Amino acid sequence: MLDCWSIVVLNMREPKLIAEIAKQLRKFHEVDILGSREPQLWIDISKFFAKASNLRFDDIEKQSMKLSPSKKFKVKSLSSRL
C-alpha cells in the first residue's frame, strides 16, 4: 500500500513540500528516453481525434452515437487555454 495523499491548494503554501515536488519533477525530466524530447501529447490527441472522427461502425446504433460535427472536440481551443 502506498503512503500518499492528494495535494490541495493549502499544501502549495508549504515550502518543504513544494521543494520536494520540484526535486522529483527534476528527476522525472532528467530520465533518458529514446526518441524526441519534444512534447507529444497534443500531437497524439489530434491524431486520435482525426482517426476517431472517421470511424464507421457496422452497428447502426453505435454509429448514431458518434458526435455530430457541431459537437466535435476542438483540440486547438483546449490547448490554447493551457
- In this prediction the pTM is 0.42
Task: Output the nine-digit C-alpha cell for 68.
Answer: 455530430
The model's pLDDT over 13-39, given as tens digits with 9 standing for 90+, comes to 999 999 999 999 999 888 888 887 788
The model's pLDDT over 42-80, given as tens digits with 9 standing for 90+, comes to 899 999 988 888 888 787 777 777 655 544 445 454 444
HEC string of the chain?
CCCCCCCCHHHHHCHHHHHHHHHHHHHHHCCCCCCCCCCCHHHHHHHHHHHHHCCCCCCHHHHHCCCCHHHCCCHHHHHCCC
